[in-house]
Amino acid sequence: MIAFLRGRLVTAKPGQVIVDVGGVGYLLQVPAGTLARLPAPGDEVRLHTILQVREDALHLYGFATAEEKALFEMLVAVNGVGPRLALAALSTLGPAGLAAALAEGDAATLARVPGIGPRTAQRLLVELRDRARALGLVPEPGEPAWPAAGGEAAAEAAAALVALGYSAAEAARAVASVGPGGGTTAEELVRLVLRRRAETG
């Protein structure tokens, strides 16, 4: 099992990247959120990975965060959901949107993903809601759901906090604690959260 790769980013294009690790070029399929977080080609990159072994091929999937990887693993464990559909779900909704849909039982949002119909959406809710909560990806009852109140900026801020090491639930609580008037952009929300954390120790 290949748990992660660290090396030089060679190329990046929608859906896939090539990483040079010790002179070996690894081709990884990645969701849109991971692609957006990559450095410039030539810089060092570290990606969480999943290796899928089939009779006729080996496929390597890369993720910028542990949360993306965990959600991908849960998605492909559901009957009828393969890697392509799992990547589409992560790319369309992002970890924040996917976790929010699971937390709120929002089948309509899940059905926005190309390839996910009403039946598959309901199956995902039934099979993944509790598993995602156990991993800390979905807030417990009474906690703010992903994305936190505040719309797109709050969702982006929460995703940025996850990239900094917060769990999904911690990021949701942190963004919600700033309040809807705390900032108008994701960058401002993140700054306020980090400032509050520094002040409180």
Q: Is the pTM of this model over 0.75?
A: no
pLDDT score, position 129: 83
pLDDT score, position 27: 97
Contact between residue 158 and residue 168 where contact means Cβ atoms under 8 Å apart: yes
pLDDT score, position 14: 86
pLDDT score, position 23: 96
Q: 46-55: per-residue pLDDT in tens?
A: 999 999 888 8
Q: 72-105: per-residue pLDDT in tens?
A: 999 999 988 999 999 999 988 888 788 878 877 8
pLDDT lower than 70: segments of the chain: 134-155, 159, 162-163, 167-169, 172, 179-184, 201
Would residue 142 be called left, alpha or beta, if left means φ above 0 and alpha means ψ between -120 and 50 degrees?
left
pLDDT score, position 42: 95
pLDDT score, position 136: 66
